[in-house]
């Protein structure tokens, strides 16, 4: 408290009071400068919050996918298969990938019928490990089991089960489903799942059956994707070359493409940062424009108050007093613009989130960054007119009196 008492002297208090009083008298001349400051400050606060919420929404897309997930796609560019579905499955089992949970996927389109209601579905042939690899949850019944290899059993995605329900009666575990003229017993129904951008399986819109069951439904089916999850003791960057080598050796007529979830997350983060920095740069440019407007207003203010400056200096005001007077005026104008701009920026970011259907979350650094940058710009552009005013001599200032 004693330090503040020594710092805030009567001279400083008088300068602040005079500056604020002069700021009030500027009236309409300061409106344009204030508007530029508000737009610049609001732009910075808004873009920081928009960038923050964009990153949050992007992270939700990958939520639950896990940074330990690999997606291998077996591309058949030569338009022929090197094996049938059973041989493909045998090749996958022979890869000997330790510490990896591996789930092969073969997908075809077809029709599913229940109680004379038929819908188009995505039929996914896979193995029991898929539930662990994709971290699926069962709503009713169970998922596929090793003992189901030779049985006609099926597990329904949430949307498929809902679509097959009619007259208010939902399809139940134990019901029989007609798929491409074959009858399959429903052994489980999945809970709604968040769809991943990278996963080849649209869980909610698919039904799942053993690979042997899919071979009966479509004799030309082949494994097109392999989904893997790395164990906690393994480093994913060391696993990828091994997986690539073994898959390429097992499927010689196909090209293997591996996508790592963490790579996609990192790429999206870099893209978001680049976009974020671009928006901040645009906000700074706008803020600089507001600072130029502040400098013009302050120069005009100095020009119109030459007589006042001369009188103050004639009765003993020092150069630093004159400089501080106009510098505080510029700071007061910038402070008001920064506060109003922060409010406008938050409102714009909130409105953008509402229109986009996002949950708004305030970026805590946006306000101090927006306000502090605005004050720095105001002081920087207000300093030159203040110094110019302090360099006037009483004779020059009172020449027109």
Report yes or no: 343 and 333 within 8 Å, Cβ to Cβ. Answer: no
pLDDT at 37: 80
**Cα 134 off chain centre by:** 23
Q: Cα separation of 271 and 263, whole Å?
A: 12
What is the total residue count of the chain? 401
Query: Which pLDDT band holds residue 1 (cuts at 50, 70, 90)?
Result: very low
CB neighbourhood size of 252 (10 A): 7
Is the pLDDT score of 334 beyond 50?
yes
Q: What is the pLDDT of residues 116-170, one digit of tens each?
A: 888 899 999 999 989 988 889 999 999 999 899 888 999 999 999 988 886 666 7
pLDDT at 260: 78
pLDDT at 183: 92
Per the model's pLDDT, the better-predicted residue between 17 and 173 turns out to be 173
Quick one: average pLDDT of 175-200?
87
Three-state DSSP class for residue 389: helix
Strand partners, 73: 225, 257
Report yes or no: 324 and 15 within 8 Å, Cβ to Cβ. Answer: yes
Q: Sort 100 into a burial class: Cβ within 10 Å, 0-12 / 13-18 / 19+.
A: buried
336: left (phi over 0), alpha (psi -120 to 50) or beta: alpha
Ramachandran angles phi, psi of 153, nearest 5°: -125, 155
pLDDT mean across residues, the chain: 79
- Structure pTM? 0.60
Q: Cα separation of 323 and 312, whole Å?
A: 12
**High-pLDDT (> 70) share of the chain, %:** 83
3-state helix, strand, coil in the chain (%, to 5): 55, 20, 25
Q: Highest-confidence range of 55-64, 170-179, 286-295, 372-381, by mean pLDDT?
A: 170-179
Q: Cα separation of 289 and 284, whole Å?
A: 9
Q: Cα separation of 363 and 53, whole Å?
A: 8
pLDDT at 142: 94
Query: Which pLDDT band holds residue 185 (cuts at 50, 70, 90)?
Result: very high
- Of 338, 294, 331, which Cα lies nearest the Cα of 41? 338
Q: What is the pLDDT of residues 224-263, one digit of tens each?
A: 888 888 877 667 777 888 888 888 877 877 888 887 766 7
Is the pLDDT score of 110 beyond 50?
yes
- Of 157, 164, 151, 158, which Cα lies nearest the Cα of 207? 157
Quick one: average pLDDT of 352-360?
85
Q: What is the pLDDT of residues 2-53, one digit of tens each?
A: 444 444 555 556 555 655 565 555 556 667 777 778 888 888 888 888 878 8
Report yes or no: 104 and 225 within 8 Å, Cβ to Cβ. Answer: yes
User: How many helices (H) does the chain have, and how many strands (E)?
Assistant: 13, 10
Query: Can you point out the beta strands (E) in 117-248?
Result: 117-126, 138-141, 153-156, 176-179, 182-190, 206-210, 225-230
Secondary structure in 3-state letters for 84-138: CHHHHHHHHHCCCCCCEEEEEEEEEEEEEEECCEEEEEEEEEECCCHHHHCCCCE
Per the model's pLDDT, the better-predicted residue between 244 and 78 turns out to be 244
Q: Cα separation of 291 and 307, whole Å?
A: 26
Is the pLDDT score of 190 beyond 90?
yes
Ramachandran angles phi, psi of 100, nearest 5°: -125, 135
């Amino acid at each position: 408290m004693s330090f503040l008492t020594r710092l805030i002297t009567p001279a400083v208090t008088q300068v602040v009071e005079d500056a604020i009083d002069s700021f009030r008298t500027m009236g309409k001349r300061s409106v344009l400068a204030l508007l530029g400051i508000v737009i610049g400050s609001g732009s910075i606060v808004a873009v920081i919050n928009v960038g923050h919420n964009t990153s949050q929404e992007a992270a939700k897309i990958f939520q639950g996918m896990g940074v330990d997930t690999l997606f291998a796609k077996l591309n058949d560019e030569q338009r022929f298969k090197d094996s049938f579905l059973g041989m493909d499955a045998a090749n996958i089992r022979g890869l000997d990938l330790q510490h990896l949970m591996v789930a092969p996927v073969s997908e075809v389109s077809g029709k599913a019928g229940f109680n004379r209601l038929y819908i188009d579905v995505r039929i996914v042939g896979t193995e029991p490990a898929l539930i662990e690899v994709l971290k699926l949850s069962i709503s009713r019944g169970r998922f596929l089991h090793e003992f189901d290899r030779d049985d006609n059993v099926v597990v329904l995605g949430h949307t498929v089960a809902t679509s097959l329900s009619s007259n208010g009666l939902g399809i139940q575990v134990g019901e029989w489903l007609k798929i491409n003229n074959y009858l399959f017993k429903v052994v489980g129904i999945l809970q709604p799942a968040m769809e991943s951008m990278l996963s080849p399986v649209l869980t909610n819109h698919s039904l799942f059956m053993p690979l042997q069951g899919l071979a009966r439904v479509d004799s030309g089916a082949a494994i097109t994707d392999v989904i893997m999850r790395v164990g906690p003791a393994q480093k994913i960057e060391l696993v990828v070359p091994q997986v690539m080598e073994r898959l390429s050796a097992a499927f010689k007529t196909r090209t293997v493409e591996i996508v790592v979830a963490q790579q996609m997350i990192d790429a999206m983060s870099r893209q978001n940062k680049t976009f974020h920095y671009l928006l901040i740069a645009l906000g700074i440019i706008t803020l600089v424009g507001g600072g130029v407007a502040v400098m013009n207003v302050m120069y005009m203010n100095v020009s119109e108050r030459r007589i006042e400056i001369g009188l103050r200096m004639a009765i003993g005001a020092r150069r630093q007093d004159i400089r501080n007077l106009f510098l505080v005026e510029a700071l007061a104008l910038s402070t008001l613009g920064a506060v109003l701009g922060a409010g406008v920026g938050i409102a714009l970011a909130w409105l953008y989130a509402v229109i986009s259907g996002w949950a708004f979350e305030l970026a805590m650094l946006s306000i101090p960054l927006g306000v502090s940058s605005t004050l720095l710009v105001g002081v920087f552009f207000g300093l030159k007119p203040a110094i110019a005013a302090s360099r006037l001599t009483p004779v020059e200032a009172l020449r027109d009196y």
